[in-house]
Structure 1
Amino acid sequence: MKQNITLSIDQALLTKLRVIAAQRSTSVSRMLADELSTIVEQAEHYEQAKRAALDALETGFHLGGKPVARDELHER
């Protein structure tokens, strides 16, 4: 479901946006909707990557090798 919103922007900016929208064969409304959608998608991807990275840190990484007792490492 789509919903209209009210946006207040400078008249000079709106004029420039209308020119850009016409050059792209679209509307100012469509350009703004696409840009806002991109912002939301990027935020969702970031959160997903952040959760995956934190999970990996919590789990840890096996870097090979074998466990060694502390006494073996520090023989005197």
Structure 2
Amino acid sequence: MQLSTILTFTVALLAGHALASPELQKRTTCQACSVAGIEGGAACCSAHCVALGNIHGGHCDDEDYCICN
């Protein structure tokens, strides 16, 4: 998968979070970014937390919920 495709997907995902409920955001961020065998959930979770103003980012827990640090 090309980097531009991944970046476009990430931007679209983060933009869609503005309309989603908080619980859906936490779950979707970790699950949707893991595509085609590429585990990108932690990176998207971290980007999501930074977008919310948390400069320390975040990580996905064992149940695929995004936890902002």
Q: TM-score, normalised by structure 1?
A: 0.25
The structure carrying a bigger helix percent of its residues is 1
Instruction: For CA contacts below 8 A with separation 6 or more, give which structure has more relative contact order.
Output: 2
Between structure 1 and structure 2, the one with the greater Rg is 1
Q: TM-score, normalised by structure 2?
A: 0.28
The structure carrying a bigger strand percent of its residues is 2
